[in-house]
């Protein structure tokens, strides 16, 4: 009978520690891995912005969220940092599998082996989809992913209108882990490229969602989400939350937590 009490005491202590860490509000206190912390430092980010401080712990623990904060508040890194962190954890898990299955000796570099294990899996496909309303915003998001994933081997493809389809076909043939896309061009590729699907997607972001809706992409976004499994984590970021968007979120997200910073300062 003494045991459960001891366990819950330990859990209480752990939770207290976690809360204390979150209060300190540094990137380090979130327990991010080294490749991610180094990339953040290299970007010159000293502390998380308010929206990052509020959303990062929730996203890291796997919750669906609606993140609302004004333009320029750092929403991009709020969803890119946890995405890269989840990738690093996955690679570590694959390395562990290789050790347990005795294929470790084949590795020249652990990360190469992890990559090989992953790409040989018949289920390999993009793990994350980041949707932007415009070509320019998608390119900005892609740059943020490249920057924050610079110390990992994460592979990305950008699928936006205005670029040659052939170059994008080539990128897709490379088995990218992350697709950064505008809805129209992504749907085009899904229709054209054989074997390209979204059932492997575990992490989906609808960024600049208010603009996405203003531009009339709601139906396309809905169609894209419909091609993913319900196991995915879905995040919606927006500067404003009109009722049409709130309705959309309650359909496309699972028990989303609303993180809203109203400071229009
Ligand atoms: P939003 O999408 O909310 O409009 P962005 O994600 O484009 O904002 O970020 C705005 C700017 O803030 C970018 O130049 C980005 O590099 C910078 N930034 C993001 N996070 C931080 C941080 N923690 N510290 C300093 N600058 C940051
Ligand atoms: Mg943004």
Q: Atom 15, ligand 1: which residue's CA is nearest? A: 74
pLDDT at residue 60 is higher than 90: yes
Question: Which ipTM score applies to this complex?
Answer: 0.99
pLDDT at residue 110 is higher than 90: no
pLDDT at 19: 66
pLDDT per residue as tens digits for the range 62-97: 999 999 999 999 999 999 999 999 999 988 888 887
With beta carbons less than 8 A apart as the criterion, state whether 129 and 205 touch: yes
| Residue 19 placed within a domain | no
pLDDT at residue 185 is higher than 70: yes
Phi and psi dihedrals of 145, rounded to 5? Answer: -65, -45
Mean pLDDT of the chain: 88
pLDDT at residue 3 is higher than 60: no
| Dist. CA 137–CA 211, nearest whole Å | 11
Question: Which residues constitute the domain of residue 160?
Answer: 32-260
Q: Atom 26, ligand 1: which residue's CA is nearest? A: 45
Instruction: Please list all protein residues whose beta carbon sits less than 5 angstroms from ligand 2, which is an ion.
Output: 75
Phi and psi dihedrals of 153, rounded to 5? Answer: -105, 25
Output the CA 141–ligand 1 centroid distance in Å.
11
| Residue 4 placed within a domain | no
Considering its fold, how many domains does the chain have in total? Answer: 1
| Residue 8 placed within a domain | no
Mean pLDDT score, 250-254: 91
pLDDT at 265: 40
| Residue 156 placed within a domain | yes
Mean pLDDT score, 34-40: 96
> What CATH number should be reported for the domain holding residue 161?
3.40.50.300
With beta carbons less than 8 A apart as the criterion, state whether 171 and 157 touch: yes
Ligand 1 atom at shortest distance from the alpha carbon of 51: 3
Beta strands in 35-111 (DSSP E): 65-68
pLDDT at 259: 94
| Residue 27 placed within a domain | no
The stretches of 149-235 forming alpha helices (DSSP H) are 165-173, 183-192, 209-214, 218-226
pTM greater than 0.95 (yes/no): no
| Dist. CA 84–CA 32, nearest whole Å | 10
| Dist. CA 129–CA 223, nearest whole Å | 13
pLDDT at 138: 98
| Residue 37 placed within a domain | yes
| Residue 228 placed within a domain | yes
| Residue 6 placed within a domain | no
């Amino acid at each position: 009978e003494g045991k459960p009490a001891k366990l819950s005491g330990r859990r209480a202590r752990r939770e207290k520690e976690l809360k204390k860490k979150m209060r300190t509000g540094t990137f380090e206190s979130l327990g991010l891995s080294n490749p991610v912390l180094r990339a953040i430092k290299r970007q010159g980010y000293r502390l998380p912005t308010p929206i990052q401080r509020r959303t990062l712990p929730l996203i890291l623990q796997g919750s669906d969220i609606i993140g609302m904060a004004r333009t320029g508040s750092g929403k991009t890194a709020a969803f890119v940092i946890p995405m890269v962190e989840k990738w690093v954890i996955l690679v570590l898990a694959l390395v562990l599998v290789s050790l347990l299955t005795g294929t470790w000796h084949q590795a020249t570099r652990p990360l190469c082996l992890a990559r090989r294990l992953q790409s040989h899996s018949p289920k390999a496909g993009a793990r994350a989809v980041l949707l932007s309303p415009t070509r320019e915003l998608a390119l900005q998001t892609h740059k943020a992913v490249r920057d924050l994933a610079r110390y990992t081997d994460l592979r990305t493809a950008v699928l936006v209108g205005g670029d040659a389809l052939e170059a994008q076909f080539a990128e897709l043939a490379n088995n990218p882990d992350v697709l950064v896309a505008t809805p129209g061009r992504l749907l085009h590729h899904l229709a054209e490229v054989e074997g390209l699907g979204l059932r492997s997607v575990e992490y989906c972001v609808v960024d600049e969602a208010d603009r996405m809706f203003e531009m009339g992409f709601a139906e396309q976004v809905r169609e894209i989400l419909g091609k993913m499994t319900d196991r995915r984590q879905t995040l919606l970021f927006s500067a404003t939350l009109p009722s049409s968007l709130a309705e959309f979120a309650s359909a496309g997200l699972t028990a989303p937590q609303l993180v809203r910073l109203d400071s229009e300062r």
